[in-house]
Amino acid sequence: MGQEFESLFRLKTKRLLWLIGIAVAAIVVYHYFEFPYGNNTIPYGFYVDKIPKSGSSRFQAADPPSDSEIFSNVIDSNQTNYTGEEHGLETVNKTRTSEEKDTISTPDFVSEPAIVSNISSRFDESDERSLVGSFRISNNESAAEQARNLEPSSYNNSMGMSYIRDAAIPSASEHKLAEPTNFAPSISPSTEVSPNIRAAVLSNDSNRTDSMKDERFRPSQDNVNILGRNSSIKTVPKENKDSDIPVPEVISISEMNKLLLQNHASYHSMRPRWSSAVDKDLLHIRSEIENAPIVENVENLYAPLYRNVSMFKRSYELMEQTLKVYVYREGSKPIMHSPYLLGIYASEGWFMRLMEANKRFVTRDPKKAHLFYLPFSSRILEETLYVQNSHSHRNLIQYLHNYVDTISGKYPFWNRTGGADHFLVACHDWAPSETKYHLAKCIRALCNADVKEGFVIGKDISLPETYVRNSQNPTRNLGGKPASKRKTLAFFAGGMHGYVRPILLQHWENKDPDMKIFGTMPKSKGNRNYIEYMKSSKYCICAKGYEVNSPRVVEAIFYECVPVIISDNFVPPFFEVLNWESFAVIISENDIINLKSILLSIPQRRYLQMQMRVKKVQQHFLWHKNPIKYDIFHMILHSIWYNRVFIQG
């Protein structure tokens, strides 16, 4: 009996020792194969809330570094397209500040498979919310290594991540609307651009200011999904008002010039999901343009007006020979296919009318198309759908979202490029904010061409805002007095919209007989007083209103008056082609007090040269019921074509 008990005891002891041994071995193996997590490894006894739970895609870093650098606007520059079943990866960065330490940020990852959405880095003081996409990079780990850890492995080499330093954040006084965006080209290290403007220009994010001061999106609660479950932009997180990241400075015209060259040299749109003959055409055409034969004397083209008259001439010729545009027939009137031809938003209507009726460029076979036109009117969209005093544009954005769903579901062409070969033409002030959600990768022809509001130099084009007073004869009253009979030094008249015009009048209204600076002028038949001043003044002041654009820029050219643009961060029309500094004066808003001295400092010979050039460039800003070569219709189409050639994947 005693032997049996001893034998049983030994057996149980051996089993217990085996179990203890197995447990110890398992612990040793676990420590040997520790798993990386962010900048750390998961410690022994890790907590459940530091790994993703079942059905959840939210991660929280266990121990964020305290000394680091901000790399913001981490955006997929070759991201995939939007579809009706779209998912997205949005990186939202929460920031906090203290009196002793630099800003510390903890990234939260909201991820879903399939498609990478975008990350913008702007704050809105007035609306108490932010869309910040910034990663904290540890001092002991390179940005590239950090990016590889963060990049979803399923995308491999199909996308590239652009790192843009020093994200720009506007001050509370600007009252801007922060919005998610979809476009940011890489920065070429060889190009010298002021560091404080990179994020503002190259990211397609924005702080949006509407024409109506209070017309801003106002989510009713934090982290509310304003776009629906299929949107790539999932949340609008609450802003941290303690953020102290500096506001970017004004982007000068010379810096815009550098950015245009840089973006055309380095940026590529999303690589098409499948190749086509059109892609090969565009590569060949780009080479043809870049190696255009040098020309000096070109009929109807005065070389000093252009950045490179040889390239422009060759590009225009290739457009005439090659370009095919498919116009979507989907969509119901009045928002779609209903051109409106009068007023300050007439540009979008005239282009729609002439494009849809065009037989030279329009093709019925979308497989042959280099570009796809979305024929909607931003003006009629606002008039039809906006609910007065609602302070919300959600239904306007949703309408465009539904339209994208329709064409992407019916045709494969949107999905092939993510919309990069699609374009829109929109002149309403709200168009930039309304098209940034689902149309951001398109080439956008916008009157409100503000580089701090999401306009991307080299992809988007600045649409001339033309005030058409007579749809039957849009060139009526064209021209003005000769230079020798223009006795008024400078003229401006207009409503007190925005903050610049009140400053202009404060300094110059009724202060100097040479400076005819007025508020709203008394009404006259055909606006004759206003027109007569433009026809008889040397310089016409084009001061911004609520937005950067103004019809006065084109009006000045129309009446052969040298335009003086006072609108910081405004990209002038046809910026890809025209050398605006050769025929216009561009003045910083801060220099309004010195306006007269600046104009008087321009030698008479220089003024006469600019006025002559205004007359020569005029052909590019005129509407004709039947389009003619080099007119505004062809110039808009050419700029869209030109940017498509230079940004195609």
Q: What residues of the chain score a pLDDT lower than 50? A: 33-247
For the chain, give the number of residues. Answer: 649
User: CA 538 to CA 604: how far, in whole Å?
Assistant: 11
CB 503 within 8 A of CB 568: no
Q: How far from 217 is each of 176, 181, 214, 239, 382, CA to CA, in Å?
A: 10, 15, 9, 14, 15
Where helices occur in 411-494 by DSSP H, the ranges are 413-417, 431-434
Which among 572, 540, 500, 499 has a CA at the least distance from the CA of 253? 572
Place of tokens 């996308």: 159
CB 81 within 8 A of CB 140: no
CB 81 within 8 A of CB 122: no
User: CA 319 to CA 637: how far, in whole Å?
Assistant: 9
One-letter identity of residue 327: V
User: CA 21 to CA 327: how far, in whole Å?
Assistant: 73
- Give the pLDDT confidence score for residue 29 in this predicted structure: 64
CB 548 within 8 A of CB 450: yes
Q: What is the largest CA-CA distance in the chain?
A: 132
- Give the pLDDT confidence score for residue 2 in this predicted structure: 64
Report the C-alpha dihedral over residues 490, 500, 433, 373, rounded to 10 degrees. 0
The structure tokens listed for 188 are 């070429």
Signed CA dihedral, 624, 627, 631, 637: sign only: positive
Strands 422-426 and 443-446, bridge-based pairing: parallel
Phi, psi of 644 (to 5 degrees): -65, -40
pLDDT in tens, 35-68: 433 333 333 333 333 333 333 333 333 333 333 3
User: CA 277 to CA 261: how far, in whole Å?
Assistant: 27
The structure tokens listed for 350 are 């005239």
- Give the pLDDT confidence score for residue 298 in this predicted structure: 86
The structure tokens listed for 429 are 């002030």
CB 314 within 8 A of CB 293: yes
Place of tokens 């009157």: 447
The segment(s) of the chain belonging to CATH 3.40.50.2000 are 483-621
Helices then strands, each counted (H, E), the chain: 17, 22
The structure tokens listed for 448 are 């409100």
CB 105 within 8 A of CB 136: yes
Question: What is the pTM (predicted TM-score) of this model?
Answer: 0.65
pLDDT in tens, 212-253: 333 333 333 333 333 343 433 333 333 333 334 444 579 999
The structure tokens listed for 316 are 């225009």
For 458, left (φ over 0), alpha (ψ -120 to 50), or beta? left
One-letter identity of residue 482: P
Q: Is 352 exposed, middle or buried (0-12, 13-18, 19+ CB in 10 A)?
A: buried
Cβ atoms within 10 A of the Cβ of 559, count? Answer: 23
Q: How far from 385 is each of 215, 377, 400, CA to CA, in Å?
A: 14, 12, 11
- Give the pLDDT confidence score for residue 406 in this predicted structure: 96
User: CA 445 to CA 372: how far, in whole Å?
Assistant: 13
- Give the pLDDT confidence score for residue 264 in this predicted structure: 87
Q: Which CATH class is domain 483-621?
A: alpha beta
Angle value at C-alpha 277, between 275 and 281, nearest 5 degrees: 115
CB 595 within 8 A of CB 507: yes
Angle value at C-alpha 476, between 471 and 478, nearest 5 degrees: 135
